Structure 1
Amino acid sequence: MSEVVQADRTVVVLRAVSALYGVAVLVQAVTAGQLLSGGAAGAHGAGAAAVHLLGLAQLVVAVLLWRPGRGPGRPALASLVLLLAGFAQSALGGAGGTALHVPLGMALFGGVVAMTVWVWTFGGHRG
């Protein structure tokens, strides 16, 4: 299989993972609102696990696009930053640090949306 075809397939997978990651972060925002209203603690905790798993999956696929796929490295770097921000976000929430947890959650959501938009508008495997 040629490098271009493999990179194109990797972009398709990256698009799917980034979209799911965006949905997972959005669901976290919904369950956070429910949590502030007195419910959904279990759903918010389970959602954190999904966010971490999808963040890791996005990082792996972005690295595969970059290294063997000869694509750009910026998505891999951005995915690493988002994954680490997600872990920090989770740690702050678990420690009860809502003063930082909420704004970091908003920043994480913005970063995931920006990454998803970039991945879906990405035109070529070397761009």
Structure 2
Amino acid sequence: MKSILATIVALGQVYLLMPLTAMADVPMNLTDANTSLGEIGNTTGMGGAEDLTTVIGNLINVVLGVLGIIFLVLVVYAGFLYLTDQGGGEKAKKAMKLLTTAVIGIVIIVAAYAISNYVIGAMVAVTT
């Protein structure tokens, strides 16, 4: 049994360390490569430059998404503190304070998202 397992592990390591080759059509010069990449970008909708409002909107969405993840981590941590209090009351008070702060924070984040969405929409409406 051990020899079969050792053989499987050894063959698995050989397979993972073996270089993989791809049969790809290589463009003949740099102009062909740029043309091919441009066609692929246009097909996927990522070919052209974006305007400033789109870039700012995407940046705001990323920042607010990260803040939402931080909120989720704080809520989970506060729940952990609350559940591991063991009747002392000190951790429970800290957990409730942290949870209250996190909820206030998410309310501010949602309000910021609504305001930024409205402002960017108004900017787009004015410029078009």
The TM tier, using the shorter chain, reads 0.3 to 0.5
Q: Which has the higher contact order (CA 8 A, sep 6+)?
A: 1
What is the TM-score normalised by the length of structure 2?
A: 0.46
What is the TM-score normalised by the length of structure 1?
A: 0.46
Please say which structure displays the higher CA radius of gyration.
Answer: 2
